[in-house]
Amino acid sequence: MTVREKCEKYLYDCGMWEKDAASIVVIYAAEDDDFRQRQDEPEIAYPLAMIAVWLIPLKRRAAEWTRANQPQAWWLPNLETETPVS
């Protein structure tokens, strides 16, 4: 699994539709140079703490996108809570 796929799965596990999760990761990659450069590398190349450096702001970005585009989405509360990354 690549870093990008791990991030998409994380958003999917929060309840987002797969296509929306993939769209958010594309948006986030355009905003974060470090993530963009490493998104196609295997996730096992990085410790969980490094993955969390990307997942935490990605989750916030997904919450912003959901509030703007799908404010009634049932998964929004899952994105707004500060939970540990696993």
Q: What is the pLDDT of residue 80?
A: 86
1-59 confidence digits (pLDDT tens): 999 999 999 999 999 999 999 999 999 999 999 999 999 999 999 998 999 899 999 99
Q: What is the pLDDT of residue 81?
A: 82
**Domain count of the fold of the chain:** 1
Q: What is the pLDDT of residue 85?
A: 59
In a domain, 75, yes or no: yes
In a domain, 18, yes or no: yes
Residue 83 has pLDDT above 70, yes or no: no
C-beta separation of 1 from 9 below 8 A: yes
Average pLDDT over residues 51-76: 93
Count the neighbouring beta carbons within 10 Å of the beta carbon of residue 29.
21
In a domain, 66, yes or no: yes
In a domain, 50, yes or no: yes
In a domain, 85, yes or no: no
At 59, list the tokens.
């989750």
In a domain, 86, yes or no: no
Q: What is the pLDDT of residue 86?
A: 56
How many Cα atoms sit within 13 Å of 78 on the Cβ side?
12
d(CA 32, CA 35): 5
In a domain, 56, yes or no: yes
Could you tell me the residue range of the domain that residue 41 belongs to? 3-80
